[in-house]
Structure formats: structure tokens, C-alpha cells
């Protein structure tokens, strides 16, 4: 992936404006360095309470950063002049739990009973790891982070349930310890890892075969380190089959005006 020269330094407002006017399409990874990017889920009002409870019960895979009122598409807490219907490069629409279509604007699909959820994304903690000098393998290898289904049950809430999906980044032991310390500061972007070492202990039979994303190199002497992953709520949504649901397309996030440091709890 080659980014334009000004990708990192582009302000979130500028980037959202470019997305809204169709000048930017696709992935937001690497853009507007230092700012929180969010996973998005939109559900009808009568499904929203169940989903809110699911997030509340499973904060590591589903760290809720913001939630709108029914019909609200401007989440003012996240940035100036945000319109979630047009400020994300690509959206996926699901009907009865089945993927229906991918679109670049959802204004035509908007309904007054829709509730927007914004969830933390691993981009924030990957940036914190790199700022500390750690190598994030999927960044180095220019691919998607490897993700796996596990045998770790989410706490069911209302109509939502499922198992936890994890992302994996390999580190030497001392760096894994440092990664725990760094990520602990950021509970709203998945927080500390939930497992490290033997993948079979969490139900992953082959570390080289991912369920989502791409496999990365694990060097001799490195431990796989596993984080709860934002794909978890998507899997729960597919199982719950709400009649209507909109999410961002993978890698195409809402870029907010919140500095990543604002998410640090200490």
C-alpha cells in the first residue's frame, strides 16, 4: 500500500471532507496519524439496547467509544461536522444477517430509528506500540493483521452472543511484556492482550491459517500475542441476524478528531 505524501499529516477534518466528496476512497490506515479511528455499527433502535448490553458485557472485543441517539448521524463528541452517512469511505449493508451490498454513502439508506455505535480500533494501539519502538509485524509486512476465531465465549447479551475473534502480533518476550504495559493504557481500543504463547489454548489449531486477514511471519524466539478484535461484534451480528445493519467496510474507518492520547487512562 503506497500512501500519498501528505497522508499522515492530513487533518481528520480534511480527510473526512475528501471522503465525503469522493476524493478519497478505500483504506484509512496510515492517514491522520495520531487520531482515533473507529469501527462502526449501525442498528435499528429496537436492536440497539441488546447491542449496547453486548458491548458493555464484552468491553475488550467491543470497546464502545461513542453511541448516538436514534436518528443521530452527527456525533459531535468525535469531531467537527461529522456526518457518519458520508464520512466513511465504504459501508457494508446487511439484511437479516446476510451481506447485501457495499456502498460509499448511506444517506439514501438512513432511517430515523437508526442508532450509531463507534468502537475502538487497533490502529490506535499499533501506533502506540510503534511510537515505543516496537515492530508491528503486519505493518512491516504491509498486510492485514492476522485474525482467528477462538474458543473464548463472549458474555451473551440479549440476542447477541458468539465467540471472541482475536488479532495476533508476534513479539519477543520482553517486547510482549512491554506491549501489555502500553496497551493496558488504552482500554477503549481493546486494551491489553488476552492471551500469549500456545495458540491451541484458545482454540487456534494452526497459527498459519487465519480466519480473517493475512498470516504474518513469526520468527524463532517470538511469542504470538493475541488481542480481542473488533471483528468479534461483526461475527455476533451475523449470528443474531438483525433485519437491517450497516457497518464500515474492513479498513475503512471513521477518522475522528480525538487524539489517540485522549484514550489513555494513565
- Nearest CA to 256 among 20, 106, 105, 38? 38
Q: C-beta of 200: minimal distance to its own copies in Å?
A: 9
Q: C-beta of 47: minimal distance to its own copies in Å?
A: 31
Longest pairwise C-alpha distance within the chain: 54
User: Which is it for the CA torsion 165, 186, 145, 36, positive or negative?
Assistant: positive
- Please tell me the distance from the alpha carbon of residue 16 to that of residue 31, in angstroms, as a whole number: 11
- Nearest CA to 190 among 233, 156, 159? 233
- Please tell me the distance from the alpha carbon of residue 121 to that of residue 96, in angstroms, as a whole number: 25
In degrees, rounded to 5, the angle at the alpha carbon of residue 87 between the alpha carbons of residues 84 and 89 is 120
Taking contact as CB under 8 A, which single stretch among the options 2-10, 27-35, 122-130, 170-178 is the one that binds its own copies? 170-178
Q: Are 61 and 230 in contact (CB under 8 A)?
A: yes
Q: C-beta of 218: minimal distance to its own copies in Å?
A: 13
Which residue of 223, 238, 249, 264 would you call a contact of its own copies, by CB under 8 A? 223
- Told to check if 180 binds its own copies by CB under 8 A, we report yes
- Told to check if 195 binds its own copies by CB under 8 A, we report yes
Taking contact as CB under 8 A, which single stretch among the options 9-17, 101-109, 193-201, 205-213 is the one that binds its own copies? 193-201
Taking contact as CB under 8 A, which single stretch among the options 64-72, 131-139, 141-149, 172-180 is the one that binds its own copies? 172-180
- Told to check if 168 binds its own copies by CB under 8 A, we report no
Binding track over 113-152 against its own copies, x by CB under 8 A: ----------------------------------------
Q: C-beta of 190: minimal distance to its own copies in Å?
A: 13
- Told to check if 219 binds its own copies by CB under 8 A, we report no
SS3 per-residue string spanning 136-164: CHHHHCCCCCCEEEEEEECCCECCECCEE
- Told to check if 196 binds its own copies by CB under 8 A, we report yes
Which residue of 177, 209, 214, 217 would you call a contact of its own copies, by CB under 8 A? 177
Number of neighbours of residue 6 by Cβ within 10 angstroms: 10
- Told to check if 174 binds its own copies by CB under 8 A, we report yes
At residue 176, φ and ψ (nearest 5 deg) are: -65, -40
- Please tell me the distance from the alpha carbon of residue 218 to that of residue 195, in angstroms, as a whole number: 16
- Told to check if 192 binds its own copies by CB under 8 A, we report yes
**In this complex, which beta carbon is closest to its own copies, that of residue 129 or of residue 176?**
176
In the complex, which residues of this chain contact its own copies (CB under 8 A)? 172-174, 176-177, 180-181, 184, 192-198, 201, 221, 223, 266
Amino acid at each position: 500500500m503506497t500512501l500519498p505524501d501528505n497522508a499522515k499529516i492530513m487533518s481528520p477534518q480534511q480527510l473526512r471532507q475528501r471522503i465525503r466528496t469522493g476524493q478519497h476512497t478505500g483504506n484509512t490506515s496510515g492517514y491522520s496519524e495520531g487520531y482515533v479511528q473507529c469501527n462502526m455499527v449501525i442498528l435499528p433502535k429496537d436492536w440497539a439496547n441488546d447491542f449496547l448490553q453486548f458491548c458493555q458485557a464484552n468491553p475488550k472485543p467491543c470497546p464502545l467509544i461513542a453511541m448516538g441517539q436514534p436518528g443521530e448521524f452527527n456525533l459531535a463528541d468525535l469531531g467537527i461536522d461529522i456526518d457518519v452517512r458520508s464520512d466513511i469511505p465504504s459501508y457494508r449493508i446487511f439484511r437479516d444477517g446476510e451481506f447485501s451490498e457495499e456502498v460509499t454513502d448511506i444517506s439514501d439508506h438512513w432511517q430515523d430509528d437508526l442508532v450509531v455505535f463507534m468502537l475502538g480500533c487497533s490502529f490506535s494501539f499499533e501506533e502506540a506500540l510503534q511510537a515505543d519502538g516496537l515492530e508491528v509485524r503486519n505493518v512491516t509486512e504491509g498486510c492485514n493483521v492476522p485474525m482467528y476465531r477462538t474458543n473464548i465465549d463472549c458474555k451473551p447479551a440479549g440476542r447477541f452472543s458468539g465467540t471472541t475473534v482475536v488479532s495476533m502480533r508476534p513479539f519477543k518476550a520482553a517486547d510482549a511484556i512491554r506491549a501489555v504495559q502500553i496497551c493496558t493504557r488504552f482500554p477503549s481500543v481493546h486494551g491489553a492482550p488476552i492471551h500469549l504463547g500456545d495458540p491451541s489454548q484458545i482454540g487456534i489449531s494452526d497459527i498459519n491459517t487465519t480466519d480473517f486477514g493475512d498470516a504474518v511471519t513469526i520468527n524463532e524466539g517470538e511469542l504470538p500475542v493475541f488481542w480481542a478484535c473488533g471483528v468479534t461484534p461483526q461475527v455476533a451480528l451475523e449470528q443474531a441476524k438483525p433485519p437491517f445493519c450497516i457497518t464500515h467496510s474492513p479498513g475503512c474507518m471513521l477518522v475522528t478528531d480525538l487524539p489517540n492520547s485522549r484514550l489513555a487512562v494513565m
